[in-house]
Amino acid sequence: MSLYQISYDLRKQRNYDALYERIKAYGNWCHALESSWVISTPQSAVQVRDNLRQVLDSDDGLLVTRLSGQAAWYGLSETVSTWLKTQLESAAA
């Protein structure tokens, strides 16, 4: 499984519900920050992008980045921190 950070900027029409549903459909996810999620999936970054892009408007922005091994953060909840630590350890193994 690969771990991906998903960052987005919904500009004019902010259809968060459709995007959130797509992200949550991956099953193993965390909503780390307001416009940032992390998912675990066997898909490639391109596949994740293409799946999420289907619910975005042409003026929206989307960044899907693979995470591996190291990360640092501040101000995240204990639940999110624990999830990230566990998933990063699995991705590095």
User: What is the Cα–Cα distance from 11 to 61, expressed in whole angstroms?
Assistant: 8
Q: Counting beta carbons within 10 angstroms of the beta carbon of residue 39, is it exposed (0 to 12), middle (13 to 18) or buried (19 or more)?
A: buried
Q: pLDDT value at position 91?
A: 79
Q: Which CATH number do you get for residue 25?
A: 3.30.70.240
Residues 45-88 pLDDT 10s = 999 999 999 999 889 999 999 998 788 999 999 999 999 999 98
Q: How many CA atoms lie within 13 A of 60 on its CB side?
A: 19
Q: Domain range for residue 36?
A: 2-92
Average pLDDT of the chain to the nearest whole number:
92
> What pTM was computed for the model?
0.89
Domain count, the chain: 1
